[in-house]
């Protein structure tokens, strides 16, 4: 099915191939016509499924001719769990806004940085992408008017609820006009998400994309059995011997992330840690350096497992396994995105073996396990 049969205007569909969007992903085929029609939508889909464009394109299309004259009022509100996702979603809105006959202004706001520049930047904005806490702050300072919102999007709703934003979200819902379109995206349909869905959505179109299986088939998964003391050298061996230029390494704690970065740097590998204890500026800078190839390895904790959009990430390494099998899938889903292949490598100690069996059972895939005892790690 081509993009042109989904109800999008020509000025959008004609320009999509220039963005390498040749044909719609499954979620886009289903979500775009429903959103254009004005329906509420529940999208159960992972990052990597193309969910961002599935709402950005129809929202921009619906905004044409409908933005109203009052520049103090926001038209579209997108709530997201993290600063990174806020930046990425706003970028997608902006990149597709260049196609449009009318100017659409998109701004992202998030906590952890000074509020004053954001207060100025949101004047005259059409699309506001926000983390819930900062939006409440801005609203309490009377910097933003939410009474003209026609479309509300909750992106990664499960993560927002996991991060404890439930009260802020409810507070925000109460500030919005009753008549509006609601779009809720979540990787999972947990009880919390179901509860939000029940208050928010009116006879929604439900789109469920079994993204895991599709995406996982593009990912070559292997694991190495390794002793705790050989983990660091093995990590460096894997990176160096494969000549990996872009690797995302996951640890389970901030402390371990810092330790791994330290050791990588001492061994001549350009690495940065990116986790919740880093400032927004430092996280953004690391991400840019990584995207530009100046940094080869990013070491991250699970907080950022989902929000980062780096196309064609060749390799993800689990230096430590996550506790939840779902997080394992989210982590390795950073590679094999947008229909390109990737490697996911896990380092498994004796204590991890049972847990790794559970992960494989839950994702319904078995992973090749290699022994690392015979690998000569001298000099790594």
Strands 127-130 and 76-79: parallel
Q: Can you tell me which of 6, 12, 21, 223 binds ligand AMP, judged by CB under 6 A?
A: 21
Q: Can you tell me which of 12, 31, 34, 53 binds ligand AMP, judged by CB under 6 A?
A: 53
Instruction: Give the whole-angstrom CA distance, residue 218 versus residue 357.
Output: 21
Q: For residue 109, what is the enclosing H or E element?
A: strand 106-109
Using CB under 6 A as the binding rule, the residues of this chain from 303 to 362 that contact ligand AMP are 309, 311, 337-338
Instruction: Give the whole-angstrom CA distance, residue 276 versus residue 304.
Output: 8
Q: For residue 153, what is the enclosing H or E element?
A: strand 151-154
CA distances from 202 to 76, 199, 206 (A): 18, 8, 11
The token pair at 342 is: 């990737």
Q: For ligand AMP, which is the closer residue by CB, 232 or 307?
A: 307
**Binding span for ligand AMP by CB under 6 A among 5-13, 46-54, 99-107, 125-133:** 46-54
Q: For ligand AMP, which is the closer residue by CB, 21 or 110?
A: 21
Q: For ligand AMP, which is the closer residue by CB, 10 or 20?
A: 20
Report if residue 250 touches ligand AMP, rule: CB under 6 A: no
Q: For ligand AMP, which is the closer residue by CB, 47 or 186?
A: 47
The CA-based angle 147-152-156, given to 5 degrees, is 145
**Binding span for ligand AMP by CB under 6 A among 5-13, 50-58, 78-86, 162-170:** 50-58
CB of 189 to ligand AMP, least distance (A): 17
CB of 258 to ligand AMP, least distance (A): 28
Quick one: CA dihedral 68, 74, 80, 84, positive or negative? positive
Report yes or no: 236 and 73 within 8 Å, Cβ to Cβ: no
CB of 16 to ligand AMP, least distance (A): 7
**Binding span for ligand AMP by CB under 6 A among 18-26, 59-67, 138-146, 213-221:** 18-26
**Binding span for ligand AMP by CB under 6 A among 44-52, 140-148, 323-331, 367-375:** 44-52
Report if residue 51 touches ligand AMP, rule: CB under 6 A: yes
CB of 215 to ligand AMP, least distance (A): 10
Instruction: Give the whole-angstrom CA distance, residue 286 versus residue 306.
Output: 16
CB of 309 to ligand AMP, least distance (A): 5
Q: For ligand AMP, which is the closer residue by CB, 311 or 371?
A: 311
Report if residue 24 touches ligand AMP, rule: CB under 6 A: yes
Q: Give the alpha-carbon dihedral of 359, 362, 364, 366, to 10 degrees.
A: 20
The token pair at 27 is: 């979620």
The token pair at 318 is: 């689990």
Q: For ligand AMP, which is the closer residue by CB, 115 or 288?
A: 288
Report if residue 296 touches ligand AMP, rule: CB under 6 A: no
Report if residue 52 touches ligand AMP, rule: CB under 6 A: yes
Q: For ligand AMP, which is the closer residue by CB, 54 or 150?
A: 54
Q: Annotate 220-271 with DSSP letters as a single string.
A: EEEEEE--GGGHHHHHHHHHHHTT-SSEEEE-SSHHHHHHHHHHHHHTT--E
For 79, half-sphere exposure in the C-beta direction (CA atoms, 13 angstrom radius) is 31
Q: For ligand AMP, which is the closer residue by CB, 231 or 306?
A: 306
The token pair at 70 is: 């009052």
Q: For residue 161, what is the enclosing H or E element?
A: helix 157-162
Q: Which residues bind ligand AMP (CB under 6 A)?
A: 20-21, 24-25, 28, 47-53, 309, 311, 337-338
């Amino acid at each position: 099915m081509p993009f042109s049969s989904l109800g999008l205007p020509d000025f959008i569909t004609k320009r999509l191939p220039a963005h390498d969007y040749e044909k719609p992903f499954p979620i886009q085929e289903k979500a775009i016509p429903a959103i254009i029609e004005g329906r509420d939508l529940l999208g159960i889909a992972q990052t990597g499924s193309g969910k961002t464009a599935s709402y950005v394109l129809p929202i921009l299309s619906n905004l044409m001719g409908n933005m109203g004259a009052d520049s103090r009022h926001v038209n579209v509100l997108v709530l997201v769990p993290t600063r990174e996702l806020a930046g990425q979603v706003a970028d997608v809105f902006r990149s597709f806004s260049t196609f449009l006959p009318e100017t659409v202004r998109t701004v992202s706001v998030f906590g952890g940085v000074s509020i004053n520049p954001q207060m100025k930047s949101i004047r005259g904005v059409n699309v506001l992408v926000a983390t819930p806490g900062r939006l409440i702050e801005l609203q309490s300072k009377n910097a933003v008017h939410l009474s003209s919102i026609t479309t509300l999007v909750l992106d990664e709703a499960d993560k927002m609820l996991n991060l404890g934003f439930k009260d802020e979200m409810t507070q925000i819902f109460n500030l919005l006009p009753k008549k509006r379109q609601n779009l809720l995206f979540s990787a999972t349909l947990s009880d919390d998400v179901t509860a939000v869905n029940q208050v928010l959505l009116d006879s929604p179109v439900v789109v469920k994309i079994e993204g895991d299986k599709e995406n996982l088939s593009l990912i070559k998964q292997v694991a190495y059995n390794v002793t705790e003391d050989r983990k660091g050298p093995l990590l460096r061996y894997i990176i160096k011997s494969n000549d990996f230029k872009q690797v995302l390494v996951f640890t389970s704690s901030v402390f371990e992330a810092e330790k791994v970065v330290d050791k990588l740097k001492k061994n001549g590998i350009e690495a940065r840690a990116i986790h919740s204890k880093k400032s927004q500026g430092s996280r953004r800078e690391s991400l840019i350096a990584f995207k530009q190839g100046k940094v080869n390895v990013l070491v991250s904790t699970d907080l950022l497992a989902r929000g980062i959009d780096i196309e064609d990430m060749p390799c993800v390494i689990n230096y430590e396994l996550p506790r939840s099998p779902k997080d394992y899938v989210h982590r390795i889903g950073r590679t094999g995105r947008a229909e390109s292949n990737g490697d996911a490598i896990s380092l498994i100690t004796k204590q991890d073996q049972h847990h790794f069996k559970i992960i494989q059972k839950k994702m319904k895939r078995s992973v090749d396990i290699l022994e690392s005892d015979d690998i000569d790690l001298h000099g790594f």
